[in-house]
Amino acid sequence: MHSLIITSGNSKNFQQLRNFVLSLRSQGQYTGLIVLCDNSISGTWDNPGTWQENDSFREEEKQFFKEQDVSILQINTLVNENTIDPEIIRNIKSPTQRYPYKFVYNTLISKLYINKVKNIFYFDSDIYFQAPFEPIAELSEAGKILIVKEFLKMQEGYFLPKWLKFSDFSKVSDQDEYLKTMLPAENFCSGFYGSEANTFHRFNLLALLLTSNQFINFYSDQPLVNILKTYFHYPFKEISNKYCLHLGELKRENYTVENGKFTFEGKIPIAVHFNSGKYQELESVLTGIPLPSPPKRSLVDKVVGRLKKAIR
């Protein structure tokens, strides 16, 4: 049976989606199913509106996806075909534009394919494939969700501590104990996760049910994934960054570009997640523009860096 890979986006980030699909089909040598959720949402990043009811892609963009054997499913269609009351979703507190739609469409799309594919994986569209995808699929294990760690702990980021504190456990549990558990914890990215089909579907279903509960608000997809892993001990399977490298938090001196491929610690990761902020580096490489050499670090900077690493 084939695998299924799900991604999402809209016409505004078509070039990013194009790079994702072409790299997956070529360097990734992936011949399985790809489903793109047309997920156009009004509002701004930190002031969300709601989903667009019509498809967003132009005819020439649709033709590209057709040629690459990519199925497009519109989020409004998924909601309507499953007779879901849109107000249930709209009433979920959504401080950021992308939340909680990832769990909505991943639940509904995996419901469609659950008995038709062996494995299901989700990838954000700002991911680029550099090597064959199959070794990732081979890691799938029933009952466990594949996930990759980022380089900063939860409390070291700018947004994540705020997102974690948005979840108030005090009415039903111990908020201090929750924060003592979560803030010092490792940070796992929700830009890529996957497993065998049943496990993937049930995980997204559970996340969707949690987001819509009336007791505790869960801010965004990434904090909830980490709360499930660290606080509730949901069974995840951590895999190394040779499978998917999260570039966003790395300084320029920590990675190189060799023959058009991003490398880390002498290895070429299968997939690179640019975390949006560094996507321009991929665009430069794809257009043949070499990246500037990383600045040379002084001895003082090296010592400070080592001390920070030791403290972490």
Residue 35 near residue 73 (C-beta atoms within 8 A): yes
pLDDT, tens digit only, all 312 positions of the chain = 789 999 999 999 999 999 999 999 999 999 999 999 999 888 777 777 788 888 999 999 999 999 999 999 999 999 999 999 998 888 887 777 667 789 999 999 999 999 999 999 999 999 999 999 999 999 999 999 999 999 999 999 888 898 899 999 999 999 999 999 999 999 999 999 999 999 999 999 999 999 999 899 887 788 999 999 999 999 999 999 999 999 988 888 899 999 999 999 999 999 999 987 789 999 999 988 877 766 655 455 555 556 655 555
Amino acid of residue 272? V
- Given its phi and psi angles, is residue 83 left (phi above 0), alpha (psi -120 to 50 degrees) or beta? left
How confident is the model at residue 307, as a pLDDT? 62
Q: How far apart are CA 153 and CA 182, in angstroms?
A: 9
- Return the pLDDT at 158: 83
Buried b (16+ CB within 10 A) or exposed e, 128-157: bbbbebeebbeebeeebbbbbebbbbbebb
Contact 70, 36 (CB under 8 A): yes
Contacts of 175 (CB under 8 A, 6+ apart): 168, 169
- Spatial strand order of the sheet with 127-129 comes to 127-129, 271-273, 244-246
Q: Is 84 helix (H, G, I), strand (E, B) or coil?
A: coil
- pLDDT at residue 242, rounded to an integer: 96
Do residues 231 and 178 make contact, with C-beta atoms less than 8 angstroms apart? yes
Question: Max alpha carbon distance in the chain (Å)?
Answer: 62
pLDDT at position 157 is 82
The predicted model scores a pTM of 0.91
- Give the per-residue pLDDT at 309: 56
| 196 vs 81: CA distance, rounded Å | 25
